[in-house]
Amino acid sequence: MLVLGGTAEARRLAAVLHRDGAFAVTSSLAGRVAVPRLPCGEVRIGGFGGAEGLAGWLREHGTDVVVDATHPFAARMTANAVAATSAAGVPLVVLRRPGWTEGPGDRWHRVPDARGAAALAPRLGSRVFLATGAGDLAALAGIDAWCLLRAVDPPPPPLPPRHHLVLARGPFTADAERALLREHRIEVLVARDSGGELTAAKLVAARELGLPVVLIARPPAPDAPAVASVEEAVAWVTARVSAARERSTPRPPRL
C-alpha cells in the first residue's frame, strides 16, 4: 500500500501498519523540507509527475490501497490522488483530521482563502504573525503590514516586503507561542484551519493574549471516502484488504 504522507497522522499510520506485518507500506513525501521526519517502512521522496505519473507508479508497483494522509491544504496532491487511483482502479481513502472549533474567548475571523486573509488582517492590526507555512506566503506577499514568518527552511519569494523570518520546527508549546507573540508585539495571527493538537498552541496563545485570529478555510473536500483518525484509516484498509482476499481465494466446488 501507498501512504501519501508528510503529516503526523501519516507517520502514525505507517508505524501501525508496519508493526502489523501484513502490509508492505511505502510512504511518499513531497520533499519540500530539506530534512523531513521519516516514517517507518519504505520511503520515497519527490513528486510523481502529476496524476498520470502517480497512476503509472501504482500500476508498476502493484499497489492495492492508497491512503491520502497529506496536509488538509495539499489540494493539488489530493486531486492527483483521486484522479490516479480512479485511472488505476486502486481503492483510495482520505485521512483528514477535523478542523478547529472556536471556543469561549476566541476572536476568530474565517476567510475563504489566503488573499482574503491578506485583505482582512491589516484592518485588525499592523503587526501580523503569518503562521501559515510556506505554501500560502506567495498569496500573502502583498499584505500591507509588518509580518512575522516562521518556517522549517527559508521560504522562496515572493514574500511580504516588511517581514522577519524565524526558522524553527514544531510542535510548539503554548508558553513558547505566547512568548513569541509578545516578543514581536504581534497584534493579529493568521493561520490555516489545519486542525489537530500539534499546531493548536498558537491559537491558545492568541486567545490568552486577546488577539484576533484570521483563519483560512480548508479547500473543498475531495470526492473520495474519508476518515478522521488513524484508527479509522487502519480499520478501512484492513476491511478492504480482507474483502479483496476473500474475493481472490478459490472456493471448493459444491458436491
pLDDT of residue 73: 94
CA atoms within 13 A on the CB side of 48: 24
Q: Out of 28-42, 45-59, 144-158, 221-235, which region has the weakest mean confidence (pLDDT)?
A: 28-42
The pLDDT confidence band at residue 49, using thresholds 50, 70 and 90, is very high
Q: Do 182 and 231 belong together in one domain?
A: no
Same domain membership, residue 142 and residue 196: yes
Contact 188, 211 (CB under 8 A): yes
Say which amino acid occupies 75. Answer: A
Angle CA(80)–CA(81)–CA(86) in degrees, nearest 5?
Answer: 100
Nearest-angstrom CA–CA distance, 82 and 248: 25
- 196 falls within a domain: yes
Residues whose CB is less than 8 angstroms from the CB of residue 18 and which lie 6 or more positions away in sequence, other chains included? 25, 40, 41
Q: Note whether 243 and 206 are same-domain residues.
A: no
Query: Within a domain: residue 165?
Result: yes
Residues 197 and 122 in one domain: yes
Alpha-carbon 63 to chain mean position = 23
End-to-end CA distance of the chain: 38
3-state secondary structure of 236: helix
What rounded mean pLDDT belongs to the chain? Answer: 93
DSSP state of 157: S
In this predicted model, what pLDDT tens digit does every residue of 190-244 receive, in sequence order? 999 999 998 999 999 999 999 999 999 999 999 999 999 999 999 999 998 777 6
Distances from the Cα of 101 to the Cα of 106, 108, 179, 196, 203, angstroms: 10, 10, 24, 11, 11
pTM: 0.90
| pLDDT computed for residue 36 by the predictor | 83
For 54-109, how does the pLDDT look when each residue is reduced to its tens digit (9 = 90+)? 999 999 999 999 999 999 999 999 999 999 999 999 999 999 999 999 999 999 99
Phi-psi region of 62 (alpha: psi -120 to 50; beta: other; left: phi over 0): left
- 227 and 156 in one domain? no
Q: Is residue 31 part of a domain?
A: yes
Q: 58 is written with which cell numbers?
A: 501504482
What total of structural domains would you count in the chain? 2
**Residue whose grid cell is 504522507:** 5
Q: HEC profile for 39-100? A: CCCEEEECCCCHHHHHHHHHHHCCCCCEEECCCCCCHHHHHHHHHHHHHHCCCEEEECCCCC
What sign results for the dihedral spanned by CA atoms 17, 226, 196, 84? Answer: positive
Structural domain range at position 202: 108-216
**Residue 251: per-residue pLDDT:** 58
In this structure, the answer to whether residues 193 and 224 fall within a common structural domain is no
23 confidence band (pLDDT: 50, 70, 90): confident
Confidence band of 133 (pLDDT split at 50, 70, 90) = confident
Provide the 3-class DSSP secondary structure of residue 146: strand
Cα torsion at 8, 11, 14, 16 (round to 10°)?
Answer: -70
Rounded CA separation 161/180 (Å): 21
Provide the pLDDT for residue 166.
96
Residue 61 in any domain: the answer is: yes
Query: Quick one: pLDDT band at residue 254, thresholds 50, 70, 90?
Result: low
How far is residue 193's CA from residue 113's CA, in Å, rounded to a whole number?
10
Kindly report the CATH number assigned to the domain that includes residue 158. 3.40.50
